[in-house]
Structure 1
Amino acid sequence: MAEHQLKEVKLHGSATSGFCMMVHYALKLKGIAYDYSEEDLKNKSEALLHLNPVHKKVPHLIVDGKPIAESFVILQFIDDAWQNPPYLLPQNDPFKRTKLRFWGDFVYQKLVPLTYAIRSSEGYAKKKAAEEFMAHLITMENGVREELWSEGPFVNGDEPGLLDVIMGSCYRGLRYLEDAQGVKLVEKEKTPLLCSSMDAFLELDAIKERTIYLQECMQAFKERKSKA
C-alpha cells in the first residue's frame, strides 16, 4: 500500500496504556499525521465497540475507514503501509525480521502477563512473579545480543525499530510498577543492552514530544470527566 494512498488515520486509545503508547510512538517516528480519541476504559465509546466488537480494547487504528486491532498487529501494519524510515522491521533481511517478531511476541507472551501478576499479588507470589520477570528479561537480553544486536544505540542499529518501540514504550511503566509494588524488574547490570536501547529511545525528540502530548491528553480527559 503506497503512502500517498493513505488519507485519513485515526487512533482510539488510552494515555495510560503501554500498548497504545507503542502505536503513538510508531506513528510519530514514521511522521504520520493522525486524529486521536482518548477512551474511557470504564465506559467505552460506541465508536470503539462498533469498530472492535471482538476484543473491545484499545489501541484501535482506523486507516481510510478500515479498522485494525491489537497493538502488535498495528505496529507491523504501520511499517508495511508507510515504507519510509525508520523501518520497524529490516527491509531486506527476512531472518532478522523473523527474530524481531519472535522477541516482540516474547514480550507479549512472557513479560506482560507477569506485570499483571505483580500488580495483583502480594508477598511470596509477587516476589516469585518479579523474579520470573527478571529471568525472562535476561533470556531476552541474551537472545537479542546473539541474534540481533548491531553497532548503534538501538536493537536495530542507528535507528529505532520494532523491539525498541515495544520495550521503550514500556520502560516508564516498568519503573512505576517497581516503585508501586516494591520490586526490582530491570537492572542495567543484568540487561545492559536492553536498558541502553530503552534509554536511547526515550531520549529521542519525537518521543519526548509525544509523551508530553499524551500527558496533556490525559489531563484534559480527567478534567472533562470531573465536569461531567
Structure 2
Amino acid sequence: MPSRYPIIALKGKEQEKVKENFSELLSVYEEGIARDFQQRSPFFNGETLGFLDIMVASNSCNYRAFSEAVGVTLDQEKHSAFFTWVHALQDCHLIKETLPPHDKLVAKIRERIPKLDSK
C-alpha cells in the first residue's frame, strides 16, 4: 500500500522510476512465491482461501480501479504469475461478494487523490 502513494503523487520520469521500483519488488515477490509455494494453485491453501490469499486480495484485487482512477498501469505480461493469481482470487465467490463495486471504488479513489497530494 505505501508504494502506491508515490505513484499517485509523482509525475513523469519520477513516476516511471517509482513504477520500475515497484515492478522490481513485485518480481522479488513472485520469485519467492514460486520458490516457496511451487505446487499450490489457484490458492496457496488448495481450493480454499488462506491468509496469504486474503492479504493479496485485499490489496490487489482492485488494481483495475486504482489504474483507472490514477491513470497508471502495470505490465501484466511481465508479472503474469502475480496477475494470474489475482485474477483467480477475483473469480472466487467470497472475494466477489466482498469487493466494492468498481465504479464506486474508482470514484472513492479519485476523491482521495487530492488528500494524498496534500500530505
Q: C-alpha distance in 2, partners of 1:155/1:130?
A: 27
Q: C-alpha distance in 2, partners of 1:183/1:169?
A: 19
Q: C-alpha distance in 2, partners of 1:139/1:202?
A: 22
Of Structure 1 and Structure 2, the greater strand share is in 1
State which structure, 1 or 2, has the greater radius of gyration over its C-alpha atoms.
1
Determine the structure 2 residue equivalent to 1:180.
Answer: 69
Cα displacement (A) at 1:154? 1.4
Shift in alpha-carbon separation, 1:164–1:203, aligned structure 2, 3 A: same
2:89 matches 1:193: no
Cα displacement (A) at 1:186? 4.6
Shift in alpha-carbon separation, 1:180–1:131, aligned structure 2, 3 A: farther
Structure-to-structure mapping, 1:1-228, within 5 angstroms: 112-187=1-76, 189-211=77-99, 214-215=100-101
Name structure 1 gaps, 5 residues minimum.
Answer: 1-111, 219-228
Moved over 4 A (4+): none
Cα displacement (A) at 1:191? 2.4
8 Å Cα contact 2:90-2:96 kept in structure 1: yes
Name structure 2 gaps, 5 residues minimum.
Answer: 105-119
**Identical positions, percent:** 28
Of Structure 1 and Structure 2, the greater helix share is in 2
TM-score, with length taken from structure 2: 0.70
Q: C-alpha distance in 1, partners of 2:42/2:52?
A: 13
> Greater RCO between the two (CA within 8 Å, min separation 6)?
2
| Counterpart amino acid of residue 60 in structure 2 | Y
| Counterpart amino acid of residue 167 in structure 1 | V
| Counterpart amino acid of residue 178 in structure 1 | S
What per-residue deviation string (whole Å, max 9, x for no partner) do you get for residues 169-226 of structure 1?
2234322333333333251x32233222211111111222223xx55xx7xxxxxxxx
TM-score, with length taken from structure 1: 0.40
